[in-house]
Structure 1
Amino acid sequence: MKHHVAARFFVALFLALAILPALYVGSACAEQEIIVSAAASLTNAFTEVGKKFEAANPGTKVVLNFAASGPLLQQIEQGAPADVFASADQKTMDQANEKKLILTETRKNFAGNGLVLIVPGDAKTSIKALKDLTLKEITRISVGNPESVPAGRYAEEALTSEGLWETLKPKFILANSVRQVLDYVSRGEVDAGIVYATDAAVAKEKVRVALKLEKHKPILYPIAVVAATRKTDPARRFIDFVLSEEGVEILSKYGFGKP
């Protein structure tokens, strides 16, 4: 009887020891999950980038968190989990750097963009110049909130340079992200909106570009590793992938230019 008890004990011990490595491997795989907080305008491009990165790095999962750059910065500052931060402007990344929320040496510019005025695809009013936005037929214009949305700040710059920002304020429908502006125009809820060229391209069946805006700072997208991450290695590898030939090709596919 004692022999049987002892045998069962050793069998159980053996099974327990055999399971431990599997548990460790499962834990290690879970630790390879990285969270990428990225500007809303990167939604389509980074969704594909994430899938291609996972395919090239078995065991590493990319979780994407898209929003306007300002709110993303606030999330990181408040302790929300994030390993990589990609902003649609330099100002937001500068703020992240000043607050020591990123690893400065990992910061890189990885893409460029343009700014355009769009109207619903079936719009009848013709807009040939920014001053046409003052026409009485144009009653609602959507722009990103300049306090938190980079596209909104670029729009403010461009319209201010033409002396139109204050004049058009009563018509503004402020949005929480550039993609919200795109949605408003796509659904015909506003007469016009200002978005990135890449956003207009995504919805080209529902909106059309009326004008290209030029009087604003160059639109450059920076990316960096979040200082609080415990997954610096995969986070750095993700950035390297974005900057690689394959990453650049994907960004180009969605209309982004080189920085």
Structure 2
Amino acid sequence: MSECPWYPNYLKKVSINMKVYYQILLFGLLLLSIYSCSSKTDKQILIYAAASMTDSLNEIVTEYELRNPDVKINFNYGGSQALAAQLNQGAPGDVFISAGYGPVGFLLNSDKIHLKSISQIASNKLVVVTRSSSKMPTAIEDIQNINRIAIADPDLAPAGSYAREALRNIGLWEDLTEKIVFAPDVRATLNYVRTGNVDAGIVYYTDALSVPELVKHDLISQSSYGTILYPAVIIEDGDTIAEAEALIEFIMDDFSKTILQKHGFILPSYE
């Protein structure tokens, strides 16, 4: 049976609390499996990170673990809002790398969790992606002629919030509402386009680079949405703060900057 492209719209009707509950339950089972298989002498660091950082962080952490063999790093990738909600509801974690400051601000305003050492590690931009067989848009207004357009769910991932903000400011959101298909995160958005379940998607530039067969269209003015920043924060709980601080320093050093740039990220200015 082929995938139903409209299934993601059903997610709009499911409460965010239920989504987060099941995400925590499933991730908790995964976490138990990971920790039971790791050496008891390893220092465990658990990173919650925006899905758009997957490729670059995996590469950076592989090198970090080679240089620090007594440290084992595990990941929970996903939409940043959903990850922040998991942490706020008590899920264990040591580092949170968000796409956008909104999810970090949510945690800073919570009395259930304490954060420290906010560091800006990168920034990004939005692009439109299509399959090579699709009719190529030459201006952002051309997406009005596309039947189905995927974006990340704005309630779960900042990529969707930025996409919605851009379309509203450009004046297209109301006209496109019936054509929008929500995906859980930006990587799922790419997959909907790649598999033909939708005709186009709006994603981060860095994620678009991870699927070479898709065509990238740089049509969305960066003035139509807020600056896409990636803050990294350390969670003040447990005995891994020193290791987490060392990891953040490594993510911001020259080796990691080269990896981030290779994957299309824009480096922040520290002046």
CA distance in 1, matches of 2:141, 2:214: 20
Match for residue 219 of structure 2?
A: 212
Match for residue 53 of structure 1?
A: 64
Q: Normalising by the residue count of structure 2, what TM-score does the alignment of the two structures yield?
A: 0.81
CA distance in 2, matches of 1:127, 1:142: 15
* Residue of structure 1 aligned with 2:98, choices 84, 87, 94: 87
Q: Is the 8 A contact 2:139 2:219 kept in 1?
A: no
**Amino acid in structure 1 at the alignment position of 2:247:** F
Match for residue 245 of structure 2?
A: 236
Task: Provide Cα deviations, 1:53-78, integer angstroms capped at 9, x if missing partner.
Answer: 11121200110111110111111112
- Aligned pairs for 1:1-259 (under 5 A) are 27=40, 29-30=41-42, 32-99=43-110, 101-104=113-116, 106-123=117-134, 125-135=135-145, 138-204=146-212, 206-213=213-220, 214=222, 215-259=224-268
Would you identify which runs of 4 or more consecutive aligned residues in structure 1 move more than 3 Å? none
Equivalent pairs counted in the alignment come to: 227
Larger radius of gyration: 1
Match for residue 19 of structure 1?
A: none
Q: Normalising by the residue count of structure 1, what TM-score does the alignment of the two structures yield?
A: 0.84
**Amino acid in structure 2 at the alignment position of 1:252:** Q
What RMSD in Å do the two structures reach over aligned CA positions? 1.3
CA deviation after TM superposition for structure 1 residue 180, in Å = 0.5
**Amino acid in structure 2 at the alignment position of 1:170:** E
CA deviation after TM superposition for structure 1 residue 230, in Å = 2.5
Task: Provide Cα deviations, 1:219-253, integer angstroms capped at 9, x if missing partner.
Answer: 11000101224210111111111011111111111
CA distance in 2, matches of 1:229, 1:86: 18
Q: Structure 1, unaligned stretches of length 5 or more?
A: 1-25
CA distance in 1, matches of 2:150, 2:257: 30
Q: Structure 2, unaligned stretches of length 5 or more?
A: 1-38
CA distance in 2, matches of 1:201, 1:121: 14
**Amino acid in structure 2 at the alignment position of 1:92:** P
CA deviation after TM superposition for structure 1 residue 115, in Å = 0.6
Match for residue 35 of structure 2?
A: none
**Amino acid in structure 2 at the alignment position of 1:209:** K
Identity fraction in percent: 35
